[in-house]
Amino acid sequence: METIRLVFVDWVVIAVYFVFVLSIGYYLKRFTKSDEDFFLAGRKNSSWVAGLAFLSANMGALELLGMTGNTFKYGMYVAHFYWIGAIPAMLFLAIYMMPFYYSSRIKSIPGYLKLRFDEKTRVLNAFSFAFMTLLVSGINLYAMALVLHTFLGWNWDVSMWASAATVAAYVTLSGLMSAIFTEIVQFFLIWFGLFLVVILGIVEIGSIQEIFARVPDSFNTLWSTSADPTQNGMMVTWGGIVLGLGFVLSFGYWTTDFLVVQRAFSAKDLRSARMTPIIASFFKMALPFIVVLGGLIALVLSKDAGSGFQLLQDGGSVNYDSALPMLIARYYPNGLIGLGITALLAGFMAGQAGNISAFNTVWTYDIYKSVLNKNATSDHLLWMGRVATIVGIILSVFTAYWAKSMPTIMDYMQAIFSWVNAPLFATMLLGMFVKWITPNGAFWGLLVGMVSSFTMWLGVRFGWIAESFITMSDVASDMAANFWRAWWAWVICFGVTIIISAFTKKKPDSELVGLVKGLTEEAETKDVKYYQKPEFYAIISVIVLIILNIYFW
């Protein structure tokens, strides 16, 4: 493919963005005086600041390239990731789990596991989360390099190291504080930079109705074909969607993944922390207008021989992740394409910064201070956090090569989540709502759950077991296997945890106050007006979710 020729204005837009991001990090460094400032932004943010950062940290390569490419591959079913696969979990986090997290003043999710269970469960989760975060971080680096290579013709390796150096610079300077502020800027930049792509696609094709009319029938519905896996693009039944994605993967990510939950921890009070995922839920429901509709537009154009539109070919196979970059190349003229490229880079850097800020927190508190240097001072932890940022970025470069070898980054991402987040959600759910779950039960249940999930993934990948054995269906896609594998990992962890807890020593109630339902003081809301309660806005979010699912049934 020919590279896009950028004019002077394009280069100015890209350069201004990079200078601005680095300047934010440098400016905020003066306010980063303690480890809490670096890792939790001083717990001073409003619900809107934390809410936009909460979503922006999730709007990395997965949201932009991955979801658009997956829509090209699977159709409208990708909207499930935004609706049934996100909103219920985000609201559950806000209403039921945030009081446990915020009230205990923990600095990370493994920190909660230490208080609720014991040190070994904390360390197990910390190591698995750190490993997962580095893999996901590599995805963002790969995706950013793909865009720079596609548009500018830059060397793949040079592109990746340049983007890694930029993220390392501004996160190292002021940690989560600079990550959150740049994520908010990136949130609006992504919307303004990519919204026009979809508008121009609708104008070219004629209307949204025309887009849906020109894609295969199996690609233009949300639920009506879910009874028969052969009738939808993802080749999955409603059971896989509801149990695997809607329950296990969704709740496992949005309620236990420290990458996003860390943003809520930065809120100034409990109400702001609870409102953080609720505010983010409304924007999350709107994102399919860019990524899902964009993927359908790319699909329609690719089937029109006269359009001249096609995705990139990589080693003889279609690179689905190139759908959004190719749409930008098609619609944006010189002078505006710099904005489109900057919007994509902003998304990748938001995801990258989110992963690295989560990694340096878990490494510093839950591995380094917990295992290696228990007497570390606040100043020393601040120094270690900055060192961990640099090391994390370097390791992410190497994991980017693995991401590059995967069919689509979205399939790869969901596989990673099924290894770590799916069994962890079972552990967290039992820990928060069942007081007799024991430390040994939690540890062995979590370990067996993670090992079983990874073993199932290896078994399918190398042909040791049939994919149909996991999905309970004669036909299945990689994504369907991810959904069902997550469900089985959750079930295994849930069952093993309960069985072992029945025969091992539980912690006394006095040590579980503030950590378990029934032993935690409920949030006081009786004197608060109904429209100021988080529950009120959560109900509105649920109503919007139901309307969207019925409309696109």
Can you give the pLDDT at residue 328? 81
Can you give the pLDDT at residue 2? 44
DSSP letter at 64?
I
To which residue do tokens 């079983």 refer?
452
Can you give the pLDDT at residue 106? 67
Q: Return left, alpha or beta for 32; rule: phi > 0 is left, psi -120 to 50 is alpha, else beta.
A: beta
Residue 401 has pLDDT above 90, yes or no: no
Task: Tell me if 440 sits within 8 A of 194, measured CB to CB.
Answer: no
Spatial distance between the Cα atoms of 94 and 236, rounded to a whole number of angstroms: 29
Can you give the pLDDT at residue 27? 67
DSSP letter at 317?
E
Can you give the pLDDT at residue 465? 76
Spatial distance between the Cα atoms of 116 and 516, rounded to a whole number of angstroms: 8
Stretch 225-253: mean pLDDT = 78
Q: Own/partner pairs for 300-308, CB < 8 Å, 24+ apart?
A: 300/205, 300/211, 300/214, 300/215, 301/201, 301/204, 301/205, 301/330, 302/72, 303/214
Nearest to 340 by CA among 352, 354, 353, 324: 324
Stretch 182-188: mean pLDDT = 70
Q: Give the residue with greater pLDDT, 286 vs 182.
A: 286
Please state the separation of Cα 25 from the chain's center in Å: 23
Q: Own/partner pairs for 539-544, CB < 8 Å, 24+ apart?
A: 541/87, 541/91, 541/278, 541/281, 541/282, 541/285, 542/87, 542/88, 542/91, 544/282, 544/285
255-265 pLDDT, tens per residue?
877 667 777 77
Residue 12 has pLDDT above 60, yes or no: yes
All residues at 6 or more sequence positions from 177 whose CB lies less than 8 Å from its CB, including other chains: 28, 31, 32, 37, 38, 41, 42
Task: Tell me if 173 sits within 8 A of 20, measured CB to CB.
Answer: no
Task: Tell me if 483 sits within 8 A of 428, measured CB to CB.
Answer: no
All residues at 6 or more sequence positions from 506 whose CB lies less than 8 Å from its CB, including other chains: 435, 436, 437, 438
Q: Which residues are 45's β-sheet partners?
A: 267
Task: Tell me if 107 sits within 8 A of 365, measured CB to CB.
Answer: yes
Give the mean pLDDT of the chain.
78
| Domains of the chain, residue spans | 8-551
pTM: 0.76
Can you give the pLDDT at residue 69? 81
Stretch 142-157: mean pLDDT = 72
Stretch 53-69: mean pLDDT = 71
pLDDT-based confidence at residue 138 (cuts at 50, 70, 90): confident
Q: Return left, alpha or beta for 292; rule: phi > 0 is left, psi -120 to 50 is alpha, else beta.
A: alpha
356-391 pLDDT, tens per residue?
777 877 888 778 887 788 787 877 887 887 788 888
Q: What is the largest CA-CA distance in the chain?
A: 72
pLDDT-based confidence at residue 41 (cuts at 50, 70, 90): very low
78-91 pLDDT, tens per residue?
888 888 888 998 89
Q: Which residues are 317's β-sheet partners?
A: 314
Spatial distance between the Cα atoms of 327 and 500, rounded to a whole number of angstroms: 53
For β-strands 313-314 and 317-318, DSSP reports them as antiparallel
Please state the separation of Cα 166 from the chain's center in Å: 21
DSSP secondary structure letters along 395-413? HHHHHHHHHHTSS-HHHHH
Q: Own/partner pairs for 519-526, CB < 8 Å, 24+ apart?
A: 519/435, 520/99, 520/100, 520/103, 521/103, 522/99, 523/99, 523/270, 523/271, 523/274
φ, ψ of residue 267 to 5 degrees: the values are -70, 155
To which residue do tokens 């013709």 refer?
153
Written as one letter, the residue type at 424 is L
Q: Give the residue with greater pLDDT, 199 vs 317.
A: 199
Can you give the pLDDT at residue 107? 66
Q: Give the residue with greater pLDDT, 181 vs 214.
A: 214
Q: Which two tokens stand for residue 373?
A: 């240097």
- For 8-551, CATH number out of 3.90.650.10, 3.90.1580.10, 1.20.1730.10, 3.30.70.60 equals 1.20.1730.10
pLDDT-based confidence at residue 13 (cuts at 50, 70, 90): confident
450-461 pLDDT, tens per residue?
999 888 888 877
Can you give the pLDDT at residue 1? 42
Nearest to 287 by CA among 216, 378, 191, 222: 191
